[in-house]
Amino acid sequence: MPGAPDAPRRIFVRAPNWVGDVLMATPALRALRLAHPGAHIVLAGRPAIADLVRGLPSVDHFLSDPGRGSRALIAYTQRLRESCFDWAVLFPDSVRAALGPFLARIPIRAGYARDVLRRALITHALEPPRVNGRRVPISMVERYLRITRALGCRDAGIRLDLVVDAAARSRLQSRLQKEGVGDGEAILVVTPGASFGESKLWPVEHFAKACDELVYQRGLRIVLAPGPGEEGIAREVAERMRARAVNLTDPPTTLAELAALVERARLVLTNDTGPRHVAVALERPVVSLLGPTNPRHTDHLLERQRVLREAVDCSPCGRKFCPIDHRCMTRLRPERVVRAALELVE
């Protein structure tokens, strides 16, 4: 890989696709800003993640991904070329993420290269982490920081950055008041869905039992905050509970409102999804339930977390759907989750 390039004036950064990964990339964004405080940094990604980076000192502008198709790619490439970027920092590993910057002839294009085609599209190629020739999982925070280090940028810490939007905070407060949640009431934010796939879902009956027990033992007010498409899961949890839960499904919370809700929470209970990392960024206690995913990808900033998983032979499998009995999640009992939650609350 070539040495560190000259200082850039304009930097294009392709964000990861998942909410949690975007937040885990913020230390690398901060390193870019520290190294090049005068550079104009543009972050591109799915429109939904704009809420996550609004207000960050490390991002000057957000550019929405135009979607797939040849027309979208041509327009996207033209916009990148007209912007005269000096660097392209590519956090995703896909060929698609590198193709626009390559066609736009951005001089420096840095990221991981898992195959020959990807390697042909970038100028500063990093090998995926390996031990004895085999790829190994590492914290995504560290993975992204290795890209900025390769560009000569010194680390600026590993905390996750997230700024809560004032307007979203006000909207969230109004919604909670309409649901009868008092300003000083201790709430447990529960996100029972997962956009990755069914394999990440802890059973709804387990969620309901754990929530009821935490209401009984600590008087926490349960607030269910599903993402778009997860409303049915949240309704089922609420229906199975003995205690009354506040269910924010109509409409579902935006990412900006979710951040405001987590900021307000006494505790967060979630599958291994984006809200877990929102809680970490806002330094709120969180109990995370892992099944098919490898914990080494998120093995960082664990002081306010309880990461629970069952030691079954087939986990982590990385599958979206379990082909057998989903034992990695069904065997994770509510009693264990309640104990972990009480440790954090106390």
DSSP 93-150: --HHHHHHHHHTT-SEEEEE--SHHHHHH-SEEEPPPEETTEE----HHHHHHHHHHH
Phi, psi of 4 (to 5 degrees): -60, 130
C-alpha separations of 207 from 91, 92, 203, 286 in Å = 34, 33, 7, 14
Q: Is 197 left (phi over 0), alpha (psi -120 to 50) or beta?
A: left
Q: What is the pLDDT of residue 4?
A: 60
CA distance 97 to 94: 5
The mean pLDDT values, 10 residues at a time, for the chain of 346 residues are 77 96 98 97 95 96 90 92 97 95 97 93 93 87 97 97 97 96 94 86 96 96 94 96 95 94 98 95 96 89 93 90 92 97 93
- pLDDT at position 3: 59
Query: Which fold does the domain 166-345 belong to in CATH?
Result: Rossmann fold (3.40.50)
Query: Which residues in the chain belong to E strands, given as ranges?
Result: 10-14, 40-45, 61-64, 87-90, 108-112, 124-126, 130-131, 134-135, 187-191, 221-224, 246-247, 267-271, 286-289, 305-308
Topology of 10-150 in CATH? Rossmann fold (3.40.50)
Closest C-alpha among 8, 1, 64 to residue 32: 8
Q: Indicate where the chain has its CATH 3.40.50.2000 domain(s).
A: 10-150, 166-345
pLDDT at 131: 84
Structure tokens at 311: 């030691």
Q: What is the pLDDT of residue 299?
A: 85
